[in-house]
């Protein structure tokens, strides 16, 4: 006979309830535990990374910029007068060297040639007027000298007669009245002699003034003629500077034969290819420590010169203006130019700012900026994993940067762009 047990169903329900609660608690705990677990370290091929070791010692602070070689001395050839380009004798690249008197092109200007002829005829007419005036003055002077000579002769005759009559009168051989008349006549002629001499001197000064005025007119017309002549001569456009003829750079447009140009129009450019300097474009954020006199090294990428086409130089000028985020820095070259160095050649320049004697430094990371704090992956000593660390940088150079905090000498870090692993604190190196 089966005996019914009281409370058995209730105990069974309680066991199931406890079991379910325990399972639920365990599931929640496992879920929370799994949620707190860090993601597995992703694998990265070591051969694709750029590692470097932290060092201590001297570090050169440098900045780098791209640029071009430009002539130190250039001169722009411009049209001195209005005209039309008739013939171009020398084009850029056709003649290696030009002298100051080398004729680059020939222009024509009928209007200017007409004014030159007019100025020439006006000068000849003024010179003829001067010669005519000079002859007229000389003739008048001769007439006045003849009158003065005649008066002087009459005076001398009258003086002799007066002396004779005076002597006769003393001997009572001639009335005294006649002697006085002779004396008065002689005195009148003496006064006239003085007048003629004064008149002759005044006439000489007047004649000289007339000739001087005419000479001034001639000089004025001659200056105008020389000006017109020089303008016509300038229709033969000369280099005016010893060097190499270069093409005009944009936005200036080279002229062609038959083209009409006005005074001041650029016609060409002459430079000295043996005296070049480098114009480097330096980022505005890096130019603050650059100063004139700092040493620089220019890489022309040409054979010759220094090692692999390197040329030594010094900073000579820093442009005060900023253009497109860069500042132009001029470097005067002191080394030998390599074969093939010419204006507008692209170069790569490095300027040495200072030498730090004893600092902790490392290769400059892709996103490492001066006086900034970044996160880098530091390689563990075994070389199998790398952990993310915070690093504070100080002064920087082209390829190196000072380490202030976060790294020690001898530790290795990854300098490559690791932005793809920003969500990981640890990576595995394969």
Q: What is the pLDDT of residues 194-210, one digit of tens each?
A: 887 877 777 777 778 78
121: left (phi over 0), alpha (psi -120 to 50) or beta: alpha
This model's pTM is above 0.85: no
Task: Give the pLDDT band of residue 1 (cuts 50, 70, 90).
Answer: very low
The per-residue pLDDT for 124 is: 92
The per-residue pLDDT for 130 is: 86
The DSSP bridge partners found for residue 375 are 390
pLDDT, averaged across the chain: 83
Residues 283 and 291: their CA atoms lie apart, in Å, by 15
Give the pLDDT mean for 150-164: 80
Residues 169 and 55: their CA atoms lie apart, in Å, by 139
Residues 65 and 313: their CA atoms lie apart, in Å, by 14
Q: What is the pLDDT of residues 90-101, one digit of tens each?
A: 887 666 678 888
Residues 69 and 204: their CA atoms lie apart, in Å, by 70
Give the pLDDT mean for 398-420: 89
Residues 310 and 303: their CA atoms lie apart, in Å, by 9
Residues 206 and 224: their CA atoms lie apart, in Å, by 28
Q: Which of 36-40, 239-243, 421-425 has the lowest mean pLDDT?
A: 36-40
Q: What is the pLDDT of residues 321-347, one digit of tens each?
A: 988 999 999 999 987 888 878 888 899
Residues 98 and 107: their CA atoms lie apart, in Å, by 19
CB 287 within 8 A of CB 329: yes
Burial 127-139 (b: 16+ CB within 10 A, else e): beebeeeeeebee
Task: Give the pLDDT band of residue 28 (cuts 50, 70, 90).
Answer: low
Q: Is the pLDDT of residue 395 over 80?
A: yes
Q: What is the DSSP letter of 12?
A: H
Give the pLDDT mean for 186-200: 79
Give the pLDDT mean for 252-270: 85
Q: What is the pLDDT of residues 73-96, one digit of tens each?
A: 888 888 888 899 999 888 876 666
Q: Is the pLDDT of residue 26 over 50?
A: yes
Angle between helices 176-233 and 110-170 (to 10 degrees): 170
Q: What are phi and psi of 202, to 5 degrees?
A: -65, -40
Q: Is the pLDDT of residue 172 over 80?
A: no
Q: Is the pLDDT of residue 216 over 80?
A: yes
The per-residue pLDDT for 119 is: 92
Q: Is the pLDDT of residue 32 over 90?
A: no
Q: Is the pLDDT of residue 156 over 90?
A: no
CB 336 within 8 A of CB 300: no
The per-residue pLDDT for 243 is: 82
């Amino acid at each position: 006979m089966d005996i019914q047990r009281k409370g058995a169903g209730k105990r069974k329900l309680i066991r199931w309830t406890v079991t379910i609660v325990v399972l639920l608690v365990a599931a929640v705990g496992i879920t929370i535990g799994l949620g707190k677990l860090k993601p597995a370290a992703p694998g990265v091929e070591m051969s694709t990374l750029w590692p470097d070791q932290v060092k201590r010692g001297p570090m050169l602070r440098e900045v780098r910029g791209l640029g071009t070689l430009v002539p130190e001395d250039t001169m722009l050839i411009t049209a001195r007068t209005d005209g039309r380009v008739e013939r171009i004798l020398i084009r850029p690249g056709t003649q290696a060297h030009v002298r100051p008197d080398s004729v680059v092109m020939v222009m024509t200007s009928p209007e200017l040639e007409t004014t030159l002829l007019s100025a020439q005829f006006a000068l000849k007419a003024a010179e003829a007027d001067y010669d005519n005036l000079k002859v007229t003055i000389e003739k008048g002077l001769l007439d006045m000298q003849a009158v003065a000579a005649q008066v002087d002769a009459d005076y001398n005759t009258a003086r002799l007669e007066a002396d004779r009559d005076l002597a006769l009168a003393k001997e009572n051989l001639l009335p005294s009245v006649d002697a006085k008349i002779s004396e008065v006549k002689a005195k009148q002629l003496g006064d006239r002699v003085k007048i003629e001499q004064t008149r002759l001197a005044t006439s000489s000064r007047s004649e000289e003034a007339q000739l001087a005025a005419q000479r001034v007119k001639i000089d004025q017309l001659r200056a105008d003629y020389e000006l017109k002549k020089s303008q016509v001569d300038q229709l033969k456009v000369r280099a005016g500077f010893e060097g190499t003829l270069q093409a005009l750079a944009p936005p200036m447009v080279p002229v062609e034969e038959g083209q009409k140009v006005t005074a001041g129009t650029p016609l060409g450019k002459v430079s000295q290819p043996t005296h070049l300097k480098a114009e480097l474009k330096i980022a505005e954020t890096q130019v603050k420590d650059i100063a004139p006199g700092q040493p620089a090294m220019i890489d022309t990428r040409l054979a010759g010169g220094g090692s692999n086409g390197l040329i030594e130089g010094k900073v000579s000028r820093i442009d005060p203006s900023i253009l497109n985020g860069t500042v132009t820095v001029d470097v005067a070259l002191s080394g030998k130019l390599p074969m093939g160095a010419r204006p507008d050649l692209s170069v790569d320049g490095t300027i040495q700012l200072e030498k730090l004697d004893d600092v902790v430094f490392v290769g400059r990371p892709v996103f490492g900026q001066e006086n900034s704090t970044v996160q880098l992956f530091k390689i563990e000593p075994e070389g199998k994993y790398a952990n993310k660390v915070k690093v504070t940088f100080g002064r920087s150079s082209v390829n190196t940067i000072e380490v202030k905090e976060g790294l020690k000498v001898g530790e290795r870090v990854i300098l490559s762009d690791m932005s793809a692993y920003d969500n990981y604190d640890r990576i595995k190196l394969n």
